[in-house]
């Protein structure tokens, strides 16, 4: 999901249409989502006709209608986003609520708020593992995002030939390890460019065996003991989320400890202009942001002038912090959103620099 958004945010075109719709997972709400989307499609058609070249507008309108007709509303999550221009027509289901229903048309797709919202939520994988099969569930918070179908589920197809019981047991153990190894390879393939923590739902013995063959043990965040082969994703997530939440809280404490070290070494910045210039120079490592902090600004010649909400018309950026997050990610940095008051000494924003 994040990789798709990263790809889309770099696309430039004369008319990039983004349609955002809040949706529902279950009836009766999802029965009305189709009507809401039709209204947004009509709005998009009107805006396209007024703002874009006639031929391009006609092409995009056809693409919007075709894309909308492909959507199965039974599988809706919390939000649905459509991205369409003369070359692309894609949609994403999102497991988070993001603002109001709206249509935007510009030179690029409206992905910034989506990327920020997803970074603020805890996303993770659940590997449901047994000696016979493996499933992979992607979740955000306490909700299912999707059950992965690319390469999963995997079945253990290794046969154990007849033989002496001792040799048979050793062979069976080796074949289970080979199956776990293949599961791990497939998981690593999906993890490229994503790096979500992985919680493994399995028996303790399987967990220890899996760790023997895991190539990237650092992504394994913990064990949820028990065989969950036949359980639905909702019930599995209900047990995993409390563990994932504690893991995330611990990780944030560790990241804040990194901030303390950086402050001691004076590898940090709090001035908005200095932060912006450091990020553009590739010096940004981690941007720590107070949860819910937004800041309009006027940006000219790489000088950041903060604008109050009363004078919002003077700003050329609705939120300079979003711009900082996006640019820092482009240069290989990351962002940490802090819920408590730990960033109060830095007025809610601080950049840890690489040097």
Fold of 2-119: 3.30.960
Please state which CATH number belongs to domain 122-248. Answer: 3.30.420.60
Question: 0.75 exceeded by the pTM?
Answer: no
Which residues fall within 8 angstroms of residue 164, CB to CB, at 6 or more apart?
none
**Strand pairing category for 154-155 and 198-202:** unpaired
The DSSP element (H or E) to which 195 belongs, if any, is none
Residue 168 tokens, joined: 């048979």
Q: What angle do CA 218, 220, 223 make, to 5 degrees?
A: 145
The span from the CA of 26 to the CA of 29, in Å, is 6
Q: Mean pLDDT over all residues of the chain?
A: 89
Please state which CATH number belongs to domain 267-353. Answer: 3.30.1330.30
The span from the CA of 145 to the CA of 149, in Å, is 12
The span from the CA of 23 to the CA of 68, in Å, is 14
User: What is the band of 161 on the pLDDT scale with cuts at 50, 70, 90?
Assistant: low
Q: Rounded to whole angstroms, what are the CA distances from 311 to 8, 102, 315?
A: 31, 24, 8
- Give the model confidence (pLDDT) of 164-185 as tens digits: 455 566 777 888 999 999 999 9
- Whether 205 has a pLDDT exceeding 50, the answer reads yes
Instruction: Give the mean pLDDT of 316-327.
Output: 88
- Give the model confidence (pLDDT) of 81-115 as tens digits: 999 999 999 999 988 887 789 999 998 888 877 77
- Give the model confidence (pLDDT) of 11-32 as tens digits: 888 899 999 999 998 888 888 9
Hey, which bits of the chain come out as E strands? Answer: 12-22, 79-84, 89-94, 102-108, 123-129, 133-140, 143-147, 154-155, 198-202, 220-225, 268-269, 284-290, 297-300, 303-306, 334-338, 349-353
pLDDT of 164 reads 45
- Give the model confidence (pLDDT) of 330-353 as tens digits: 898 988 988 889 999 999 999 999
- Domain spans of the chain, in order of start: 2-119, 122-248, 267-353
Domains 2-119 and 122-248 agree in fold: no
Instruction: Give the mean pLDDT of 194-220.
Output: 93
Share of the chain above pLDDT 70, in %: 94
The span from the CA of 22 to the CA of 24, in Å, is 7
Name which of 61-65, 103-107, 162-166, 195-199 the model is least confident about: 162-166
Of 40, 87, 84, residue with least CA distance to 61: 84
The span from the CA of 151 to the CA of 154, in Å, is 7
pLDDT of 167 reads 58
């Amino acid at each position: 999901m994040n990789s798709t958004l990263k790809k889309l945010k770099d696309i430039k075109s004369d008319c990039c249409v983004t349609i955002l719709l809040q949706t529902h997972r279950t009836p009766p709400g999802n029965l009305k989502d189709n009507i809401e989307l039709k209204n947004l499609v009509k709005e998009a058609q009107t805006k396209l006709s007024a703002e874009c070249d006639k031929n391009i507008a006609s092409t995009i309108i056809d693409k919007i209608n075709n894309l909308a007709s492909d959507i199965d509303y039974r599988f809706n999550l919390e939000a649905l986003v459509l991205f369409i221009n003369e070359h692309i027509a894609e949609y994403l289901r999102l497991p988070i609520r993001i603002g109001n229903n709206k249509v935007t048309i510009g030179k690029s797709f409206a992905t910034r708020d989506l990327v920020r919202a997803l970074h603020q939520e805890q996303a993770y994988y659940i590997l449901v593992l047994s000696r016979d099969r493996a499933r992979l569930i992607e979740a955000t918070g306490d909700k299912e995002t999707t059950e992965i179908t690319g390469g999963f589920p995997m079945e253990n197809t290794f046969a154990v030939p007849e033989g002496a019981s001792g040799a048979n047991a050793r062979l069976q153990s080796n074949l289970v390890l080979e199956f776990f190894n293949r599961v791990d390879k497939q998981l690593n393939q999906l993890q490229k460019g994503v790096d979500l923590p992985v919680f493994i739902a399995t028996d303790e013995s399987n967990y220890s065996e899996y760790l023997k063959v895991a190539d990237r043990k650092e992504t394994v965040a913990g064990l949820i003991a028990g065989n969950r082969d036949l359980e639905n994703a909702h019930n599995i997530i209900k047990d995993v989320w409390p563990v994932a939440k504690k893991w995330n809280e611990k990780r944030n404490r560790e990241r804040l400890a990194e901030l303390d070290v950086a402050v001691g070494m004076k590898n940090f910045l709090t001035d908005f202009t200095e932060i912006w210039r450091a990020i553009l120079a590739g010096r940004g490592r981690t941007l720590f942001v107070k949860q819910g902090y937004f800041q309009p600004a006027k940006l000219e010649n790489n000088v950041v002038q903060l604008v109050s909400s009363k004078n919002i018309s003077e700003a050329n950026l609705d939120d300079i912090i979003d711009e900082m997050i996006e640019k820092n990610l482009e240069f290989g940095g990351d962002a940490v959103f802090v819920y408590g008051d730990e960033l109060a000494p830095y007025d809610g924003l601080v950049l840890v620099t690489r040097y």
